[in-house]
Chain A
Amino acid sequence: MRVLLVVDPIRDEFVRDVAMAAKNGLEASGHDVDVVDLVAERFPPVMSGADRRAYFTDDPLVCPQAAASAALVRSADGLVFVYPTTMSTVTPGIKGWIERTLVPGVAFTIGAQTGAKRGMSNIRRLVGIATYDDSHWDVLRHGDNGRRLIQRNVRFCGGPRTRSRWIAMYDAERATDVGRHGFLERVEREMGRL
């Protein structure tokens, strides 16, 4: 399986470690892994005027970085997001990547009458790995917008055969080194079994 890992290690080096653990786990099981590190690549999260004007045309990928990501999405069988939860949702970086990469023709198609139709059926596995500063209870109570975005809205583009998996670290702010190490091991183990 070819897996695309999208990671936003914004202000948090631990998230990069988590992504590396996921990569190691996947590679140990013989999967090919592509990594898009939004901070290292300085992926622009803002949809520009040119992006927006091209959005509903036949060629919406005007930004070379978004086009490169879209090519990786098209050739992938699995898609993994790794991010620290920010404002109860994905980081602005991940949101920007989704807005600018999963455009019409990549993740879905828009018909004049039919509305949006799924177009990412090559993605068979969808995984979210998120850290939360809040406790599990608080996240349940307040709603998890990042998880909803990925497991409902992005998964819709994959279709009924896209299986999704969620790996969460709650109370990340108060985590000890032992807790962090345990989470890295868990990520590596679970991704190895994907």
Chain B
Amino acid sequence: MRGLVGNGRDSILIDLYATAYDPSLPLPDSDADALQTTTALVLVHPTWWTSQPAILLSWLDQASSTGLPNVRTLVSVTTLGGSRLANFAAGESGLRVVKRAVRPRCVQRTTHRRLAFYGMDRSTADERAAFLDRVERRIGTLVR
């Protein structure tokens, strides 16, 4: 958020846990309304079992079936427990879900970029701080 606001991007934060998002109910009206005018969608999540957590998969399914008529940019900011090699071997499904299932619901030629933090499980505090810095610096340029 700091990186986006610092670059003058008008941003809304939807925290699925803080708003107690319930997958068994329809998408909240406030989320659906916000998505109508959204031009960039940034997904911030840990990677579990090679893809997005179930709560985010459910939200994405509901959000993309409502439509993402103005989204031109998709960004994933994610942490992955294992190494780059281990995740490659496991299949990187999270990347494919966005590319194959979310991107086709957006504007044509929507780009998908990713800021990934591999090796989260064995990371040091310094590495985590460096990733936070990287996200703050890069997010403004990824979101046009």
> Are A87 and B64 in touch, CB under 8 angstroms?
yes
Q: Which residues of B contact A49 (CB under 8 A)?
A: 17
Interface size on B, residues (CB 8 A): 27
Query: At the interface, yes or no: B102 with Cβ under 8 Å from chain A?
Result: yes
Which residues in window 64-89 of A have CB below 8 A to B?
Answer: 86-89
Which residues in window 138-183 of A have CB below 8 A to B?
Answer: 142-143, 145, 148-149, 152-153
- C-alpha spacing A40/B17, complex, angstroms: 24
Q: List 16 A-B contacts (CB under 8 A).
A: A42-B24, A87-B64, A88-B97, A88-B100, A88-B101, A89-B97, A92-B55, A95-B53, A96-B23, A96-B58, A99-B48, A99-B49, A115-B86, A142-B96, A149-B49, A153-B50
Query: At the interface, yes or no: B132 with Cβ under 8 Å from chain A?
Result: no
> Which residue on chain B has the smallest CB distance to residue A49?
B17
> Are A87 and B93 in touch, CB under 8 angstroms?
no
* Chain A residues with a Cβ under 8 A of chain B: 42, 45-47, 49, 86-89, 92-93, 95-96, 98-99, 115, 142-143, 145, 148-149, 152-153
- C-alpha spacing A152/B51, complex, angstroms: 13
B125 to chain A, nearest CB (A): 18
> Are B96 and A45 in touch, CB under 8 angstroms?
no
> Are B51 and A93 in touch, CB under 8 angstroms?
no
- C-alpha spacing A95/B82, complex, angstroms: 19
Q: Which residues of A contact B24 (CB under 8 A)?
A: 42
Partner of B54 from the list A88, A92, A145, A153 (CB cut-off 8 Å) is A92
Partner of A153 from the list B58, B90, B102 (CB cut-off 8 Å) is B90
The secondary-structure label for the interface of chain A is helix
> Are B57 and A153 in touch, CB under 8 angstroms?
no
Which residues in window 74-122 of B have CB below 8 A to A?
Answer: 82, 86, 90-91, 93, 96-97, 100-102, 121
- C-alpha spacing A148/B24, complex, angstroms: 26
* Chain B residues with a Cβ under 8 A of chain A: 17, 21, 23-24, 48-51, 53-55, 57-58, 60-61, 64, 82, 86, 90-91, 93, 96-97, 100-102, 121
Q: Which residues of B contact A149 (CB under 8 A)?
A: 49-51, 91, 93
Given contacts A88-B96, A88-B101, A145-B97, contact A95 B54 (CB under 8 A): yes
> Are B57 and A95 in touch, CB under 8 angstroms?
yes
- C-alpha spacing A145/B49, complex, angstroms: 11
- C-alpha spacing A122/B93, complex, angstroms: 26
- Other A-B pairs, 12, CB within 8 Å; known A45-B55, A87-B60: A45-B58, A47-B48, A88-B96, A88-B100, A92-B55, A92-B58, A92-B61, A93-B23, A95-B53, A95-B57, A142-B100, A149-B49
B7 to chain A, nearest CB (A): 30
Q: Which residues of A contact B17 (CB under 8 A)?
A: 49
